[in-house]
């Protein structure tokens, strides 16, 4: 990945400049005054190098998980929270490791976890006790205080460094934010934070994201992260936490998709920020609708956002193609359509057309036989202007549940494939919309309006 080579080059030139501080007689910094090799200096330097590149020293062996050796891929079980509202994975932080469920978010780049006694946490939020980690380091002398802003709120806290593991991959010097003040509703249930999976340039902590550290340390078999996300929106009896699929770090899992993966290169940028694609076509029940091009087609592919947000004209065009749909005055930017309609919207980013299950488009009843649509106008009711450096579309889980998605950093590209039968694809696609009681909407990636749709679950079914 371009960004990373650049940073590596900068480090190399620093290292070249360093000998200025070393007396000429001692060309080798590891040799003592008496000409003997000082092995302890070598060990310290090696340890610094390992930490910089994320290799695990054996001090973290208190973790029960075995260390992953170079070039592996591993499947991390995902938790589906509140009927497809968020998708979480388990991360271990500190020594000994404390385990937390964090939102797997391709729409942001920071890792943070709620601190013990955090303001804004609920009594059910598991929190990170920094005093119990022997490896925690505060950044700087006092620790830098920062705030990270998300669509659904913000978190403030101190930047720190500690050992972080996921799926057996470990970085012993991962920068993270220890969140001491959270805005209300930022976390639900037993979630404790967010694992940002986008690029460093987007990080409020300005640090290298966990996944990029694993790649630079050659821990991953391939510079890829893949998602199979389950659908629970049609399950009236869904518990707060249900099995959410598989997050594969370091590759793909061939049992979860069929056919080819359609990889599409990200629109070129000197520094990747979000995971981006350009929306090339949208259909509603097989008919093309007019969508804007150029910057207004730039789409963030965001596992951390529940729904799909798009530019005004495209969202209006989509609902214009659905007979008797209406704009909701009480929910700015949202539309409703007759619950009896069977709406199949599909997106193209390259040649293939990827359909959204009608059940995912239907967020439940909003009264008068109308059901809330899963696509909304991103710019309305938001202070973010269209195209102004921000993605014009945010393609969240409403879409991503319908495909196997692969985020590949070299070359920066995103791939989609059809889910296998084992992953609920093909004929196993669930039928029936509108059975859910209410939709909880989260958007961690971007500033977008949030709000819960109220519905009593009387929507009619809409089989695929
Ligand atoms: C790692 O383990 C080896 C052998 O068990 C030991 O000699 C070495 O000191 C340990 N290193 C660290 C950094 O703890
Ligand atoms: C691939 O996914 C299947 C189904 O979840 C799982 O049983 C298997 O262990 C996974 N394989 C790898 C290598 O992660
Ligand atoms: C749900 O809403 C529909 C239409 O809005 C109404 O006819 C029905 O009686 C409601 N059901 C319940 C259980 O409230």
Per residue in 381-420, pLDDT (tens digit) is: 555 555 556 799 999 999 999 999 999 999 999 999 999 9
* Residue of higher predicted confidence among 30 and 15: 30
* Residue of higher predicted confidence among 101 and 367: 101
Residue among 454, 456, 460 whose CB has most ligand 3 atoms within 8 A, to mutate: 456
Residue 177 in tokens: 């934010």
Burial (CB count within 10 angstroms: exposed 0-12, middle 13-18, buried 19+), residue 363: buried
Residue-level pLDDT at 432: 34
Question: Is residue 456 within 6 Å of ligand 3 at its C-beta?
Answer: yes
Q: Is residue 372 part of a domain?
A: yes
Ligand nearest to the backbone CA of 247: 2
* Nearest atom of ligand 1 to the alpha carbon of 59: 14
The count of structural domains within the chain is 2
Strand partners, 219: none
Do 154 and 27 reside in the same domain of the chain?
yes
Q: Which of 195, 218, 249 is the last residue before a domain boundary?
A: 249
Do 276 and 241 reside in the same domain of the chain?
no
Q: State the Rg of the chain over Cα.
A: 23
Distance, in Å, from the CA atom of 216 to the CA atom of 213, rounded to the nearest integer, reads: 5
CATH code for position 327 = 2.40.70.10
Do 317 and 438 reside in the same domain of the chain?
yes
Share of the chain above pLDDT 90, in %: 66
Residue-level pLDDT at 21: 31
Do 149 and 87 reside in the same domain of the chain?
yes
Per residue in 35-52, pLDDT (tens digit) is: 555 555 545 545 444 443
105 noted as active-site residue: yes
Q: Is residue 65 part of a domain?
A: no
Q: Which of 249, 267, 282 is the last residue before a domain boundary?
A: 249
Nearest CA to ligand 2 atom 12: 75
As a whole number, mean pLDDT of residues 219-230 equals 97
Do 260 and 244 reside in the same domain of the chain?
no
As a whole number, mean pLDDT of residues 429-443 equals 39
Binned at pLDDT 50, 70 and 90, residue 151 comes out as confident
Residue-level pLDDT at 379: 78
Do 437 and 343 reside in the same domain of the chain?
yes
Q: Which of 216, 249, 282 is the last residue before a domain boundary?
A: 249
Query: By the 8 A CB rule, do 118 and 192 touch?
Result: no
Question: Is residue 29 within 6 Å of ligand 3 at its C-beta?
Answer: no
Say how many Å lie between the CA of residue 456 and the centre of ligand 3.
Answer: 6
Do 136 and 265 reside in the same domain of the chain?
no
Provide the domain limits for residue 228.
20-32+70-249
Per residue in 234-258, pLDDT (tens digit) is: 998 999 999 999 999 999 999 999 9
Q: What DSSP string describes 15-34?
A: HHHGGGGS-TT--STTB-TT
> Which phi-psi region, left, alpha or beta, contains residue 315 (left: φ > 0; alpha: ψ -120 to 50)?
alpha
Query: By the 8 A CB rule, do 361 and 308 touch?
Result: no
* Residue of higher predicted confidence among 427 and 283: 283
Do 159 and 92 reside in the same domain of the chain?
yes
Do 229 and 274 reside in the same domain of the chain?
no
Nearest CA to ligand 3 atom 7: 458
302 noted as active-site residue: yes
Per residue in 287-320, pLDDT (tens digit) is: 999 999 999 999 999 999 999 999 999 999 999 9
Do 113 and 236 reside in the same domain of the chain?
yes
Do 227 and 328 reside in the same domain of the chain?
no
Structure-derived torsion over alpha carbons of residues 177, 181, 186, 187, reported in degrees to the nearest 10: 70
pTM score, whole prediction = 0.75
Residue 127 has pLDDT above 90, yes or no: yes
């Amino acid at each position: 990945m371009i960004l990373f080579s650049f940073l590596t080059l900068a480090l190399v030139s620093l290292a070249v400049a360093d000998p200025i501080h070393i007396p000429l007689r001692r060309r080798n910094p590891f040799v003592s005054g008496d000409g003997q090799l000082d092995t302890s200096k070598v060990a310290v330097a090696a340890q610094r190098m390992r930490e910089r590149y994320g290799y695990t020293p054996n001090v973290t062996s208190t973790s029960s998980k075995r260390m992953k050796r170079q070039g592996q891929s591993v499947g991390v079980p995902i938790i589906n929270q509140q009927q497809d509202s968020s998708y979480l994975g388990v991360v271990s932080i500190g020594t000994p490791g404390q385990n937390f469920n964090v939102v797997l978010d391709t729409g942001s780049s920071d890792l943070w976890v709620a601190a013990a006694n955090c303001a804004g946490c609920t009594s059910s939020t598991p929190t990170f006790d920094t005093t119990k980690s022997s490896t925690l380091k505060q950044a700087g002398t006092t620790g830098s205080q920062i705030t990270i802003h998300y669509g659904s709120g913000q978190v403030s806290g101190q930047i720190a460094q500690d050992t972080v593991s996921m799926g057996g991959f470990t970085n012993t010097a991962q920068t993270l934010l220890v969140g001491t003040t959270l805005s209300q509703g930022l976390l639900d249930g037993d979630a404790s934070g967010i694992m940002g999976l986008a690029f460093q340039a987007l990080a409020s902590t300005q640090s290298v994201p966990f996944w990029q550290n694993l790649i630079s340390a050659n821990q991953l078999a391939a510079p890829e992260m893949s998602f199979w996300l389950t659908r629970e929106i049609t399950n009236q009896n869904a518990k707060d936490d249900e099995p959410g699929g598989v997050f594969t770090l370091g590759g793909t899992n061939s049992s979860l998709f069929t056919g080819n993966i359609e990889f599409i290169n990200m629109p070129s940028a000197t520094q990747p920020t979000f995971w981006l694609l350009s929306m090339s076509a949208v259909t509603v029940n097989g008919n093309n609708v007019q969508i804007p091009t150029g910057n207004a087609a730039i789409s963030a592919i965001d596992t951390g956002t529940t729904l799909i947000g798009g530019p005004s004209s495209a969202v209006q065009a989509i609902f214009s193609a659905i007979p008797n749909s209406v704009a909701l005055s009480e929910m700015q930017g949202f539309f409703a359509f007759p619950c009896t309609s069977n709406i199949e919207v599909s997106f193209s980013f390259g040649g293939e057309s990827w359909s959204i299950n009608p059940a995912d488009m239907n967020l439940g009843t909003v009264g008068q036989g109308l059901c809330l649509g899963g696509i909304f106008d991103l710019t309305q009711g938001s202070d973010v202007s269209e195209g102004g450096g921000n993605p014009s579309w945010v393609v969240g889980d409403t879409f991503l549940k319908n495909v196997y998605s692969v985020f590949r950093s070299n070359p920066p590209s995103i791939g989609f494939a059809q889910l296998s039968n084992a992953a609920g694809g093909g004929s196993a696609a669930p039928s029936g919309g509108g059975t859910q009681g209410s939709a909880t909407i989260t958007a961690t990636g971007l500033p977008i309006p949030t709000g819960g749709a109220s519905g009593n679950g009387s929507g009619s079914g809409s089989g695929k």
